[in-house]
Structures are given as C-alpha cells and as structure tokens.
Structure 1
Amino acid sequence: MLHNKFSRKWLSLAAASLALTACDPAPVDTIDPPLAGATIGGDFALTGSDGATVNWADFAGQYRIVYFGFTYCPDICPTDVQRFSQGLAKFEQAAPELGTKITPIFISVDPERDTPEIVGQFIANFHPRLVGLTGTPEQIEDAARKFAVFYSRGDDTPGGGYLVDHSAVVYLFGPDGEPIAILPTDQGADAVAAELAQWVS
C-alpha cells in the first residue's frame, strides 16, 4: 500500500539528514532542518469540522503538524494521529508556552465519506486542539498535490466500504509555512516530542 512506500521514502530522507547533522559540532540553532528548501505545502481552501472555510494562511505565525488520512481507516491513520497527538501533549507539558505555538491539522483524503461532521467526530478522540479538514474532491486533490501526498481509492471491504491508499507522512511546518521535518510517529510519542523540542522555539 502507498502508506508504507511513501512513508519509508520520506522517513529515510529525514533520518539521513538527522544522522548527518548529529555528527556536526555546530550549535543546534545553526543546523538546517531536514526539509529546508523542500517545495512542500501551500495555500488551500478546505472545510473545517464546523463547516467554515479554512485556509492555510489562517495558521500564519503557528508551527503546524499536518497529516493526511481518512476517518474510516482501520489502523494506520488513528495510530499516527494518536502518536503525534500524544507527542504534542508531552511537549506541551514540558514547554507549555512553546506548545501553544503548534497547531495540529488532520486533512481527509476521503471527501466522499468524510463530511465535516464525521471529521469532527474523529478528531474529538485525539488532541483537544486538533483541526479537522475536508473538502470537495478537487480541493482535496489540490491540497494533497501541494503537500506531496499521494492517495487513491483502494480495495472494497466487506460490508460495502473501501480503503484509501495514501502516503502516511506527518509533517512539521514553521510559522511562515515552511517545511521543517517529518515527525517520527513510527518511534512513538516520546520521539515526536523530542523532534518538536529540536525545532520549535
């Protein structure tokens, strides 16, 4: 499935970058983020769980955790969202003032089923400040392209449902919308909190 294929690609890139910087005696604040200069992210107009239009520019000045998934996902999506939510909560406990500078965002890749109401029910299970977004197929396609996320309708499941294959990457963006790093949700909440501590200031 695309989940693992693209996740490994991006995580390998991040790991390689971090491995190189770990050997560099330069101060942390002079190290370039793993995704520095990458053309990831950009303007979008999507629909929030309250039905209001939400734009990328609405988060200006905030660090942003961004994840694309779908609410009917049986395992990968809820696990990833739980881990970055728990990692953010740990970071908030350790650095409350810095924690408030981060907005976590979940964007659906299943506009056919993920209505604002359904997305709202999904995000209520995780971080209290998690923003849930959906939109039309065209809006989701545009946002996914800008954020280098790949997705497609997958196999049908018993009962008439279906899965959505997608790249499962948890991005961290800076206050100006610049890509910073990929959060290591595969390593658990503590690793996510440590990664946030490295870049959020």
Structure 2
Amino acid sequence: MKPMVRKTTVVGLKNCYRPLSISAIKCQEAQKDGNGASGAARGKKPLSRIPIGAAETHTQKIDTGSTIEFTTWKAAALFLLLGGGVYYFFKNEKQRLEIEKEAEANRGYGRPLVGGPFSLIDENGEPFTEKDLLGKFSIVYFGFSHCPDICPDELDKLGVWLTELKKRNINLQPVFITCDPARDPPEVLKEYLSEFHPDIIGLTGDYDAIKSACKKYRVYFSTPPNVKPGQDYLVDHSIFFYLMDPEGQFIDALGRNYDEETGVEKIVEHVSAYVPKADREKRKDKWYSFLF
C-alpha cells in the first residue's frame, strides 16, 4: 500500500518572488518621504528634472523671483523720483504765478497807484529823477537823518538785505529820500548814509519837491508847526520800503513785518517772477491769459 502524500498549494507564492518594477520602487520611496523619511534627510539628492543626456542651460539657473523684486524696486524708485520732480516744479510755478499776479495788481492800471515823476538831487548834488530807476530793481525808503531809532534800524536791515542779495547775484538800487530837507542837505545825507551801506543813494531837494515825491509814493509825513530855526524836532512819516521793477513801476511795499531774512526772500521772489511789460502785453491775447 502506498503511503498517502498530502499536497499543499501555496497561493500567490509565485508573486512573492516577482522583481519590483522601477515605478514601484519610486512609489515606495514617495511613501517613505510622506512618513517623514525624506531623501534629503538621508543625504540623497532630489530627483533632477533635466532629461538624461541634456545639458543644464543658463536660463534654468536664474531665480525669477529675485528678478521681479529688483524690477519692482527700480520702478518704485523711478516713480518717486519723477513724482517728486513734477510736484516740486508745479509748486514753484504756482508760487511764481501768485507773486506775479500780486505784482501786477500792485502796478495798477492807467496811472500808477504808487510812484511817478519826481525831480531831486543826490548826496553829490547831481540831479536824480524817476528815470534813474529804469533798467534795474530799486528799493525806495523815506526817512530823515535825525530819526532817533526807527530809521537807523530800518537802514541796518536794508544793509543786510543788500549784502545777501549780492551773494545771490541780485543788484538792487537802494534810494533814501529825506522827509526833512531843512536839516538834510546833500553833505549831511552823504555822511549819514555812509554808516549803513555804501550803495545807498541819498536824495533831497526843496520842501515842495520833497512833498511832491512823498505824494507820488503815497507817503505820509509831517513836521511840528511853528518850528523855530535851530530847534530840534521829530518828523512823523510812513515806514515802508517801496520795491520798484526795472520799468520804474511799483510792485510791493515791505513794512516792518519783514525782518533780515524774510525781506530778502520776498525780494528774491519778485525778482524771479518778474516779466517785462512787452511780454506781459503779448500774452494778454493768449487763451491762458486768465492765469495772470
């Protein structure tokens, strides 16, 4: 009798010894990376996206993110630079137009509100009229040599203005007209004004000529009544500097509210905004004449 042999069938045994494909290996590695065991942590290089046999090009090494950031920074800087320049230009232009309109209003229409013909003599005894104001900016002040405090203070301030304006290449003609011709002959004015600034021109004349000049410039002055010869007295008068343009026309009055700094800046503004009369007349027919 033959002994009985029991047959056992192992299901799927053949599959256990089947070699793994490349895709299966990659799948296992990806699963391990998902569980925290990444290839980079084990010192392995990440898989390259460059095809086998292909060379790495220069454009593949460029960091596009940094390029975008750099370009954005340059564009922002250019925008700020151009915007600041445009703002500065229009701000200065607006201020210049305002100063020009102010000067045009002060000039008046027809007969000038301030200024006009006069005939006096300077500290050297030479004739001086309104025609000597032409061709240059002038500043006119009315006072008298016996003034105890106001005139000396204002003339000191004028001297500072003249010095600072010369540093900015602005030559202003300063004119001092006395309101006290009885005590201010040419030689007295020459000595008195030399203490303040060498460029100041002193003007005097007879009483009627002085009174006429004061009237033309709308200057108030008065002397005490019944003054005896040799008697000391004070002259009451207006305290303004009258700024005149190169055409001899009034453009602004600077009072005591202007100090050594603000007075200079105001004069510089007017000089910079000045437009000759011929050019002012030409643009009256332009469509943009309303700006002025």
With structure 2 as the length reference, what TM-score do the two structures score?
A: 0.55
Distance 1:168 1:187 in 2: 12
| Contact 1:84/1:185 (8 A) holds in 2 | no
2:269 and 2:255 map into 1 onto residues whose CA distance is: 13
In structure 2, the partner of 1:63 is 137
Provide structure 2 residue ranges, at least 5 long, that are not aligned to the other structure.
1-90, 273-292
- Among 264, 269, 277, the residue aligned to 1:193: 264
Pairs within 5 Å for 1:23-172 = 27-31=94-98, 32-33=101-102, 35-37=106-108, 39-93=113-167, 95-96=168-169, 99-100=170-171, 102-154=172-224, 160-172=231-243
182-191 vs 102-111, greater mean Cα deviation = 182-191
For the 8 Å contact 2:243–2:253, the answer to whether it is kept is yes
Q: Contact conserved, 1:87 with 1:191, CA < 8 A, in 2?
A: no
Listed one character per residue, the Cα deviations across residues 27-85 of structure 1 (whole Å, up to 9, x for unaligned) are: 23322125242510011110100011111101211111000000000011111111122
Larger relative contact order, structure 1 or 2 (CA cutoff 8 Å, min sep 6): 1
Question: Given the two structures, how large is their TM-score scaled by the length of structure 1?
Answer: 0.79
- Three-state SS of the structure 1 residue aligned to 2:147 is coil
Structure that is richer in strand per residue: 1
Structure 1 unaligned segments of length 5 or more: list them: 1-23
For this pair of structures, how many residues does the alignment match? 172
Q: Judging changes above 3 Å, is the alpha-carbon distance between structure 1 residues 200 and 58 closer, same or farther for their aligned structure 2 residues?
A: same
- Report the Cα distance in structure 2 between the residues aligned to 1:126 and 1:64, rounded to whole angstroms: 17
Question: Residues 75-127 of structure 1, C-alpha deviation per residue, up to 9 Å, x if partnerless?
Answer: 1111111112212211221x12xx22x10100000011000000111111122
Cα displacement (A) at 1:160 = 3.0
Larger radius of gyration: 2
- Paired with 2:152 and 2:265, the residues of 1 have a C-alpha distance of 21
Is the 2:239–2:256 contact (alpha carbons within 8 Å) kept by the matching residues of 1?
Answer: no
Deviation at 1:26, TM superposition (A): 5.8
